[in-house]
A and B are shown apart, each in its own frame.
Chain A
Amino acid sequence: MCWTASGAGIRNSVRPALINERKNRNRIDMRLVKKIRLIGHFYRSFWLLSSLITAACMVLFWEYGFSIFSTLLWFKLATLFLIFRFIKSYKAREFYYYHNLGVSKLLLWGVTLSFDLLVYLILLFQVNRFR
């Protein structure tokens, strides 16, 4: 390592390290953005169907309230499972695309299903608030 006493020398030796660090951080940010974009695209393959099911559950929840909450929750989970089974075989080939970009099936399913379920629960609680 080059160590110089002058201020300019220190600046010159520190600057490349900072530039490299910034470049690495940008690269990591880009990778994260790409991964989010890929997961978003994957979610688009079933969000419409899932949203329709969520909307139907919201209507039922508006009518009957918390008395059918557990039934609706099991219904939502069952439909998500069916969607999972369908997409798993229907889009089997496309998983190679995601894998070649470092996005595993576990990450794709984990993020999209959790997000979908979270949105579902938030919407049901919002319905309950305005009921």
Chain B
Amino acid sequence: MRHVLEFDSIRLSFGGRMILCDVYMKCETGKITGLLGRNGQGKSCLFNIVYGELRAEEKSVRFDNVSVAKGFMRPDLLRFLPQFDFIPKSFTISRVFDDFGLDYRELEKRFPEFASKHRVAVGKLSGGQYRFIQTYVILKAESRFVILDEPFTHLMPLQIEKVIELIREEKENKGLLITDHLYRPIIEIADRLYLLTDGKTHPVRGLAEMEELGYVAMGR
């Protein structure tokens, strides 16, 4: 079944500086929506507002046309991968999988580097593996939409490939919103792209439009 997540009318300012003022984004089941933007443009703030973690002066977040103010109260609708490590370091991988209702054997089968590590605390994993586990559980857990804030951070190229593969797989039954500073993989996998600049979202199609908006510098 197709579901739609839309948000607009979001206003956010810090100390008189307007961060977000004219935002519209739409995400659907079966589609990957990418958000790009320079540092400090408010990408993470925007996703935190949609998730309900950050309070905005105004906002409208709708799931299938029904307004939901606190997305974090509805993991069946939305799960969120923040840009930092969020799983308590003392938790074992099997404990995390159990909490998220996932089968650890599936991970072992697909990614042999995690074989017989189910009793290992996530804090004992390498930085890349720790990040990978966090991305994996958020992507795989039951939900209609997933927000991924910098899922490629701390990952080596091989792991990035694996995450891209997982994202493509999960796209079949979820809607995905994704942002990262590694813009090339985002451009590669996104069905719809937005660029956030000066507090506004601009739908963009390719690198040329991004260059026009000052996000990338080509041919220099």
Contact = CB atoms under 8 A, between A and B. Distances in A.
A93 B84 contact: yes
A94 B88 contact: yes
Contacts of B53: 96, 99
A97 B53 CA distance: 12
Contacts of B169: none
A41 B88 contact: yes
B99 A34 contact: yes
B108 interface: no
Contacts of A94: 86-88
Contact of B86 (A41, A96, A102, A104): A96
A8 B137 CA distance: 44
Contacts of A100: 72, 75, 79-80, 86, 100, 138, 141
10 contacts: A41-B88, A93-B84, A94-B87, A96-B86, A97-B86, A99-B53, A99-B72, A100-B72, A100-B138, A100-B141
Nearest to A42: B88
B82 interface: yes
Interface of A: 34, 38, 41, 93-94, 96-97, 99-102, 104
A19 B66 CA distance: 31
A96 B80 contact: yes
Interface in B51-89: 51, 53, 70, 72-76, 79-80, 82, 84-88
B86 A93 contact: yes
Contacts of A99: 51, 53, 72, 75, 80
Nearest to A96: B86
A38 B72 CA distance: 16
A106 to B, nearest CB: 10
Nearest to A34: B99
Given A34-B99, A38-B99, A96-B80, A102 B73 contact: yes
B142 to A, nearest CB: 11
Nearest to B73: A104
A99 B75 CA distance: 8
A101 B100 contact: yes
Contacts of A41: 88
